[in-house]
Amino acid sequence: MDYFNYRGDDLFAEDLKVADLATTFGTPLYVYSKATLTRHVKAFDDSLSDIEHLICFAVKANGSLAILNLMARLGCGFDVVSEGELRRVIAAGGDPHKVVFSGVGKTAREIEFALKQGIKCLNIESKAELEVVKQVAAELKLEARIAFRVNPNVDAKTHPSISTGLKHNKFGIPIDEVVEVYQQASQCPYLKVSGIDCHIGSQMTSGAPLLEATDKLISLYEKLKNLGINIDHIDLGGGLGVTYDAETPPSPADFFGAIKEKIAALGVAIFIEPGRAMVANAGIFVSKCLYLKDNGEKHFCIVDGGMNDLIRPALYGSVMTILNCQKQPELQEQVYDVVGPVCESDDFLGKERKLQVKQGDFLVVRGAGAYGSSMSSVYNGRPLCCEVLVDQDKVYEIRHRQRYEELWQNEILLED
């Protein structure tokens, strides 16, 4: 459930008309709802209320400082995958002691920075990375709390581009090789082996794959326990899906129900790293219809927001709902490809959408709060767009539209 609803013919973000926001702040524009974000954090928190847990919001889904700050105030920790994301969390007022650091390619410098910040856990993804962590921790004389990201070879049954827990994926250490690595790490001074980690994929619409992975992690936990290696948490990553179109994902309570009971029986804490399910439906992307155009049979609705602002449709063929901010019941319905101004044939927000739209209308892409702004670029000389957060009848600008000079501010013009 979210707080973007029609009242009469007008789409509202909480208590504000989206068309008014678009007029005030200009388009393209991201609009977030504070009530929706708060509701989602609470739904995750409640779903794990009777077990020790840490919710580490996946910063890659949306790294906006204002959003991270809100999450931190609501008690969340964070999952980061780079020094840049960790610095973002700190800049937003997040607590580094509640941060887990994932990713297959952490550099020695990033590991050093993370250890100095005293993060909660480094999720190590290879034997070679373990060697670097050992070395850096020893040089710093700092204890590194670590987990190994295990690749359980479980099919998350999602889009191949966002499936991460299969043997052929680059992520994690194969589960049948990891015991030996745990044994090795448990002998190292400066390393505190504290967890087992996995993340099998994103946009999962059933809890079954993660339950299958959990069973594998639990049997690993038992093996380690028998070897005298005591784990204090199991991190299940993120992955809960959302409704973009016709998907029917479970609620957090249903998703974690059976999993939680199994982990509670071990007496260890559960960590999760949700990204999409926290923010996707707490954000919309608003663009303006610049032109309507027909090429023979085909009808195009050309908007001022493009693949550089929201790349999911172009990159994954994602189908995201598109609505007119102000319903136009008097207009004839037409099937349009909603396309952006970028010079690429794949620059589209939606294909073959039935819309009642005219030039100057504002169109909204729903579900754009996750992997929208965070994946945007300045391709085609297009500044990063403005973002606002709505809180009931108030609106706050949380990122100004990038100024043109900022596009080249780090560049150096050679002198003759």
What amino acid positions are annotated as catalytic residues? 343
Distance, first Cα to last Cα, the chain: 60
- List CB contacts of 389: < 8 A, sequence separation 6 or more: 31, 32, 33, 34, 66, 67, 395, 396, 398
Pair of tokens at residue 268: 């260890």
Piece in contact with ligand LLP (CB under 6 A), picked from 20-28, 84-92, 273-281, 394-402: 273-281
Q: Using the rule CB under 6 A, which residue among 36, 102, 126, 153 binds ligand LLP?
A: 102
Q: What share of the chain is helix, strand, coil (3-state, %, to 5)?
A: 35, 25, 40
Cα–Cα distance measured from residue 231 to residue 385, given in angstroms and rounded to the nearest whole number: 44
Q: Which of residues 1-40 bind ligand LLP (CB under 6 A)?
A: none
Q: Which residues pair with 33 in a beta bridge?
A: 390
Cα–Cα distance measured from residue 343 to residue 22, given in angstroms and rounded to the nearest whole number: 24
Pair of tokens at residue 91: 């800049």
CB of 404 to ligand LLP, least distance (A): 28
CB of 58 to ligand LLP, least distance (A): 4
Place of tokens 């524009």: 29
CB of 356 to ligand LLP, least distance (A): 29
Pair of tokens at residue 210: 């993660």
Piece in contact with ligand LLP (CB under 6 A), picked from 130-138, 140-148, 237-245, 294-302: 237-245
- Are 24 and 240 within 8 A, CB to CB? no
Q: Which of residues 298-337 bind ligand LLP (CB under 6 A)?
A: 312, 316
The residue type at 99: V
Distance of CA 231 to the CA centre of its chain: 27
Is the CB of 28 or the CB of 274 nearer to ligand LLP?
274
Is the CB of 19 or the CB of 272 nearer to ligand LLP?
272
79 makes contact with ligand LLP (CB under 6 A): yes
Piece in contact with ligand LLP (CB under 6 A), picked from 32-40, 68-76, 275-283, 391-399: 275-283
CB of 216 to ligand LLP, least distance (A): 17
Angle between helix 83-91 and 108-117 (nearest 10): 30
If binding means CB under 6 A, how many residues of this protein chain bind ligand LLP? 20
Q: Using the rule CB under 6 A, which residue among 34, 276, 288, 382 binds ligand LLP?
A: 276
> Please, where are the H alpha helices in 187-337?
208-226, 252-266, 276-279, 312-316
The residue type at 112: E
- List CB contacts of 110: < 8 A, sequence separation 6 or more: 82, 83, 86, 101
172 makes contact with ligand LLP (CB under 6 A): no
Q: Which of residues 364-383 bind ligand LLP (CB under 6 A)?
A: 371
Piece in contact with ligand LLP (CB under 6 A), picked from 186-194, 207-215, 236-244, 342-350: 236-244
Angle between helix 65-73 and 83-91 (nearest 10): 70
Q: Using the rule CB under 6 A, which residue among 237, 252, 305, 350 binds ligand LLP?
A: 237
Q: Using the rule CB under 6 A, which residue among 16, 37, 41, 58 binds ligand LLP?
A: 58
77 makes contact with ligand LLP (CB under 6 A): no
Pair of tokens at residue 101: 């650091």
Is the CB of 37 or the CB of 277 nearer to ligand LLP?
277
239 makes contact with ligand LLP (CB under 6 A): yes
Q: Using the rule CB under 6 A, which residue among 275, 283, 313, 350 binds ligand LLP?
A: 275
Q: Using the rule CB under 6 A, which residue among 96, 152, 195, 274 binds ligand LLP?
A: 274
CB of 162 to ligand LLP, least distance (A): 5
Is the CB of 112 or the CB of 235 nearer to ligand LLP?
235
Pair of tokens at residue 279: 């923010």
104 makes contact with ligand LLP (CB under 6 A): no
Q: Using the rule CB under 6 A, which residue among 199, 233, 260, 366 binds ligand LLP?
A: 199
Cα–Cα distance measured from residue 347 to residue 198, given in angstroms and rounded to the nearest whole number: 34
Residue at shortest CB range from ligand LLP: 238
Phi, psi at 404, each rounded to 5°: -60, -40
129 makes contact with ligand LLP (CB under 6 A): no
Cα–Cα distance measured from residue 140 to residue 112, given in angstroms and rounded to the nearest whole number: 8
The site for ligand LLP (CB under 6 A) is made up of 58, 61, 79, 102, 162, 199, 202-203, 237-240, 273-277, 312, 316, 371
